[in-house]
Structure 1
Amino acid sequence: MKEPEDLAEACRDWWRTGIIAMRPGEIRIRGYPIEQLVGRLSFAEMIWLMLRGELPEAGRARLLEAALVAAVDHGPQAPSIAIARMAVTCGVGINNAVASAVNVLGEVHGGAAEQAMELYARVEAETAAGRPLEEAVAAAVEGWRRERGRHLPGFGHRFHPVDPRAPSLLALVEEAAGEGIVEGRTVAVARAIEALLGSRSRRPVPLNIDGAV
């Protein structure tokens, strides 16, 4: 049987996290005193620090900031936004409305960016195995459609002929790649998938915000 001191330490361990440490009069985020961060970091830089455990380079922080700006409310066509607006008309408070919206986020709505990254990773795995980019894209797309259906996450939009957010984000990433801030491999993969889809369709199937983020 454990001693009371051991049990107390086990309880403290359960609540410990590498993200934040708090003591009376002291708050540290990833080891940095909060007073050194307030007024120094942007919100995007703070998110980066919390998620990755390090302060971002200025160029990377600008890219994250741009992605956050692009992802703000873009009209009632999005299911989660429509649900939140409908909830408010029922007389509930803002907390209830936001909770209603969050509850519909998943693979079908809200999860496309993660799925797009999975698709890109498949392409990169093919290129790492020695395949040229165009062949790697074709193999990854065919494999994805065979397993999950014809729709590819990150491409096409049911409302916009061209998602107006995606080109701006891609241009920023390509500029950052040219400056050596990021590698830019994922942009090349996304462009190659976009080209393949366009060559197989009567109309363009451009990258959307999920594929760009």
Structure 2
Amino acid sequence: MSIERSDVSDWWRTEIIDMAPGIIRFRGHPIEDLIGSVSFPQMIWLMVRGDLPNAEEAALFECALVAAVDHGPQAPSIAASRMAVTCGLPLNSAMASAVNMLGDVHGGAGEQAVELYHMIDEAGGPSYAGEMIDRWQTERTPYVPGFGHRFHKPVDPRAPRLLSLVDEAQKKGVVSGRFAAIGRAIQTELNARKGKPVPMNIDGATAVIYAELGFAPPLARGLFCLSRSVGILAHAWEQMNQGGRNKGPTPPKYRWTYDGPDPI
């Protein structure tokens, strides 16, 4: 039996926005009441979660967003934005090209880390970190998301600062602190297994905050995209002002390795 739609208003359904001539409401809040009253992090929270965070929740949320804005031109997404501009793309296209590089390997570890934290939490807490790491590596990937860094050893400077802010929020009763404990338990376990420090990285640290604040794992990746878009925009704009045409990932004098057949 087919379902007939009598009106185009049935085509899309949303609880996010109500809009008519002279009226714009986000989650029931008139836009004129939100402008000047809520911060951008609060607005993000309202749009994706449906309610407004209190000031302490918003402040902790903002810290996570600030911490992940950029990591330099060696980051594939940032490099992509700069290369896109040298190919003549406008800022919006450069940003889109860069954000599209934020996949499971580059940009997706935060989502995976939240998933792992929840696995450990549901298993019984920090004492199950080792067991759940083994399960993760067996069922998902050998890489433990949110830990280890190519450049920052033995410490990623962003992680201790973010965890200290979580600790402060816990003391105020803003968050439970249980995901911070899980993150630290993972690091202790990995340090023992490797016999050397395995730093919690930006993905692992922001995942602690997102898990503490109740964001679903997939949102951790979306929020990383929002955060990193700031750096992407800044680098694209800088490159646009510096000039340069058709820049690839390396200067022209450096050649790639050719492994194909020799000329016949």
The alignment's TM-score, normalised by the length of structure 1, stands at 0.90
Amino acid at match of 1:98: M
Structure-2 residue corresponding to 1:203: 196
Could you give the per-residue CA deviations for residues 12-47 of structure 1, whole angstroms, max 9, x where no partner exists? 032231011001000000001111000000000111
Structure-2 residue corresponding to 1:124: 121
Structure 2 Cα separation of the partners of residues 39 and 168 of structure 1: 29
CA RMSD in angstroms, aligned pairs only:
1.7
* SS of residue paired to 2:134: helix
Structure-2 residue corresponding to 1:145: 137
Match of 1:171 among 157, 164, 174: 164
1:111 aligns with 2:108: yes
Structure 1 Cα separation of the partners of residues 195 and 85 of structure 2: 41
Match of 1:83 among 60, 80, 85: 80
Structure 2 Cα separation of the partners of residues 201 and 29 of structure 1: 49
Shift of 1:78: 1.3
Q: CA separation of 1:25/1:117 partners in 2, compared to 1, >3 Å: closer, same or farther?
A: same
Larger CA deviation: 16-25 vs 96-105? 96-105
Shift of 1:212: 0.9
Structure 1 Cα separation of the partners of residues 39 and 10 of structure 2: 31
* SS of residue paired to 2:152: coil
1:184 aligns with 2:177: yes
Q: CA separation of 1:106/1:178 partners in 2, compared to 1, >3 Å: closer, same or farther?
A: same
Amino acid at match of 2:147: F
Could you give the per-residue CA deviations for residues 31-72 of structure 1, whole angstroms, max 9, x where no partner exists? 011110000000001111111111111110001111111111
Match of 1:56 among 33, 53, 57: 53
The alignment's TM-score, normalised by the length of structure 2, stands at 0.73
Structure 2 Cα separation of the partners of residues 35 and 133 of structure 1: 45
Structure 1 Cα separation of the partners of residues 156 and 55 of structure 2: 27
Q: CA separation of 1:133/1:74 partners in 2, compared to 1, >3 Å: closer, same or farther?
A: closer
Q: Which has the higher contact order (CA 8 A, sep 6+)?
A: 2
Structure 1 Cα separation of the partners of residues 39 and 109 of structure 2: 27
Match of 1:100 among 97, 101, 110: 97
Larger CA deviation: 29-38 vs 201-210? 201-210
Shift of 1:148: 2.8
Amino acid at match of 2:136: W
Structure-2 residue corresponding to 1:159: 151
Amino acid at match of 1:159: F
Shift of 1:133: 2.9
Structure 1 Cα separation of the partners of residues 10 and 108 of structure 2: 33
Shift of 1:159: 1.4
User: In percent, how many aligned pairs have the same letter?
Assistant: 58
Could you give the per-residue CA deviations for residues 47-102 of structure 1, whole angstroms, max 9, x where no partner exists? 11111111111110001111111111221121111111112222322222112112
Structure 2 Cα separation of the partners of residues 17 and 147 of structure 1: 36
Structure 2 Cα separation of the partners of residues 13 and 96 of structure 1: 32
Shift of 1:160: 1.2
Query: Unaligned stretches of 5+ in structure 2?
Result: 207-264
Amino acid at match of 2:139: E
Query: Unaligned stretches of 5+ in structure 1?
Result: none
Amino acid at match of 2:152: H
* SS of residue paired to 1:200: helix
Shift of 1:150: 2.3
* SS of residue paired to 1:54: coil
